[in-house]
Amino acid sequence: MYRSEVPLYGDLVQLVDEVNAGAIANHQGFEGEELKREMEENRLKVERHGAIRVGKASELHTLRRLFALMAMFPVNYYDLSVAGLPVHATAFRPITPDSLTINPFRVFTSLLRLDLITDVRVRQIALKRLEKREIFRKETIALVEKAEAQGGLLNEEDAVMLVQHAMETFRWQSDALVEKEVYDELKEAHSLVADVVAFRGPHINHLTPRTLDIDAVQARMPEKKIESKHVIEGPPHRLCPILLRQTSFQAVQEPIYFVNPNSNKPGHDHKVLGFHRARFGEIEQRGVALTPEGVALYHRLMEQAEAELARISTDLKFAGAKPVDNATRQRVLQECFTAFPESWEELRARRLAYFRYVRSSQATRRPSLMNGNPQPIDMLIDQGLIRVEPIVYEDFLPASAAGIFHSNLGDLKHLQVQKSGPDREGFEQALGEKVVDGDALYQAQQLESMTAMLESMRTNMA
Ligand code: OOG
Ligand code: NI
């Protein structure tokens, strides 16, 4: 659906597939772990995330119930008000290793926070328009209720129907919910308010394929006539990739048809033509999930880099030059991140990242990388009896998300957003459930792999 709606997205996916095929061909492999590699390549072929924005609590609540039927659960709370955006968000995604391997589809879902809009009139218009809006088909609601009554299950026929009806909620609808004057007024307050309130549904605003080499894709975008966002968000290139790096292409301008207040008078067209920018493309490269210690080190180094970049940017402005370009940004980040370990073994030994522990098929002795006080498990790794595999970071980074939002909302000159801090409680109340803690999931995955591995060693010895 999205590919036919936004053809440029299809071009981007093609570019990503080309780059990924090259990266896989050059890959040295995981010590003969063919099966695992194959699984990861299959995952990579289908791996996407999308994003939607909803306007009211009941919409988020129904989305939660709908996604739960697809084994997608809200993970983490993201407060975007710190970046001047009147939304908070979560990401619906699979949470078990098995379902992540089949298809790790995630939907970054934002809820509008009208309480942060300072203009009382705009707030009231938005409330009134949203109140009457219904983004789900009645068939969707009926099937969700049916499934819930059957313990979360549907027969095949109903399941197919549910997907078909539910999909319509996310489709682009060029017929606006409001008149042009209302759209203009909402947009003046904040483009995000217009994007949510002026439409009949929460159109998917981007779908993001995962690449193994984001620098290559960014460099090759002009080849496909794709105008990329100017810098890559997140950490720099690393030999052992960490967390998440993202870049996007600019939103496309699309026609929309506003409600015509004079349409019942003779001689007036039914609709009023206008334009809106909402839908864009994005790519991402995912690395290892970091422990709280790793995340703290990441933030410390990012802060250092941002301070240095701010200094360079001021100098450039002074000299009348353009803003900091991607090459400069990456160079500064690289310099700051020399303080971040760049081998899996060190990341593991210093407990900065999460790993899966697996028994090795053949023990291969190798020189010890340990110093200090190695634990028994470290010695087994040293002796090659245990192998470790990085656990992929499956979530998002608020600072990068804010950068992506901003690059696609255009110039926010008339920013009227209160900085009132997060409202996790309000979000969870709307959701009807607490969000899952992403960190706890990685920790559990690491621990479970360790337990299973030790258990298998014990049975083997007995
Ligand atoms: C969501 C932006 C956040 C990401 O990848 O961080 C996001 C939006 O623009 O609605 O998708
Ligand atoms: Ni995204």
Tens-digit pLDDT profile for residues 289-324 = 999 999 999 999 999 999 999 999 888 777 777 788
Provide the residue count of the chain: 462
pLDDT tens for 199-253 read: 999 999 999 999 989 999 998 988 888 888 888 999 999 999 999 999 988 777 8
Q: What is the mean pLDDT of residues 116-136?
A: 94
pLDDT at 58 over 50: yes
CA of 429 to the centre of ligand 2 (A): 24
pLDDT at 450 over 60: yes
Quick one: which atom of ligand 1 is closest to the CA of 408? 9
Residue 90 phi/psi, 5-degree rounding, is -145, 175
* Tokens 């009645």 sit on residue: 138
CA of 316 to the centre of ligand 1 (A): 29
Query: ipTM greater than 0.95, yes or no?
Result: yes
**Whole-number percent of the chain with pLDDT over 70:** 91
pLDDT tens for 360-399 read: 766 555 555 555 666 777 777 877 888 888 999 999 999 8
Among protein residues, the one with the nearest Cα to ligand 1's atom 5 is 401
Among protein residues, the one with the nearest Cα to ligand 1's atom 4 is 401
Among protein residues, the one with the nearest Cα to ligand 1's atom 1 is 51
**Whole-number percent of the chain with pLDDT over 90:** 59
Structure confidence at residue 265 (pLDDT): 65
Spell out the SS3 assignment of the chain. Answer: CHHHHCHHHHHHHHHHHHHHHHHHHHCCCCCCCHHHHHHHHHHHHHCEEEEEEECCHHHHHHHHHHHHCCCCEEEEEEECHHHCCCEEEEEEECCCHHHHHHCCCEEEEEEECHHHECCHHHHHHHHHHHHHCCCCCHHHHHHHHHHHHCCCCCCHHHHHHHHHHHHHHCCCCCEEEEEHHHHHHHHHHCHHHHHHHCCCCCCCCEEEEECCCHHHHHHHHHHHCCCECCCCECCCCCCCCECEEEEEECCCEEEEEEECCCCCCCCCCCEEEEEEECCCEEEEEECECECHHHHHHHHHHHHHHHHHHHHHHHHHHHCCCCCCCHHHHHHHHHHHHHHCCCCHHHHHHCCCECEEEEECCCCCCCCCCCCCCCCHHHHHHHCCCEEEEECECCCCCHHHHHHHHHHHHCCCCCCCECCCCCCHHHHHHHHCCCCECHHHHHHHHHHHHHHHHHHHHHHHHC
Structure confidence at residue 23 (pLDDT): 82
Q: Which of 42-56, 247-261, 313-327 has the highest mean pLDDT?
A: 42-56
Ligand showing the shortest atom-to-Cα distance for residue 244: 1
CA of 121 to the centre of ligand 2 (A): 31
Ligand showing the shortest atom-to-Cα distance for residue 406: 1
pLDDT at 354 over 90: yes
Task: Give the strand pairing for 175-179 and 253-259.
Answer: parallel
CA of 404 to the centre of ligand 1 (A): 6
Write the CB contacts of 301 (distance below 8 Å, at least 6 apart in sequence). Answer: 336, 337, 339, 340
Rounded distance between C-alpha atoms, residue 339 and residue 296, angstroms: 13
CA of 136 to the centre of ligand 2 (A): 23
Structure confidence at residue 230 (pLDDT): 82
CA dihedral sign of residues 32, 33, 38, 44? negative
Nearest to 226 by CA among 281, 285, 284, 275: 281
Rounded distance between C-alpha atoms, residue 397 and residue 438, angstroms: 12
* Best mutation site among 404, 406, 409 for ligand 1 pocket (most ligand atoms within 8 Å of CB): 404
Q: What is the pTM of this model?
A: 0.92
Ligand 1 pocket at CB < 6 A: 51, 53, 108, 110, 205, 246, 282, 396, 400-401, 404-405
Structure confidence at residue 31 (pLDDT): 44
- The region that residue 364 occupies, defined by phi over 0 for left and psi between -120 and 50 for alpha, beta otherwise, is beta
Among protein residues, the one with the nearest Cα to ligand 1's atom 6 is 401
Structure confidence at residue 80 (pLDDT): 93
Ligand showing the shortest atom-to-Cα distance for residue 203: 1
Could you tell me the CA-to-CA distances from 187 to 118, 161, 177 in Å, in that order? Answer: 14, 36, 14
CA of 307 to the centre of ligand 2 (A): 25
End-to-end CA distance of the chain: 56
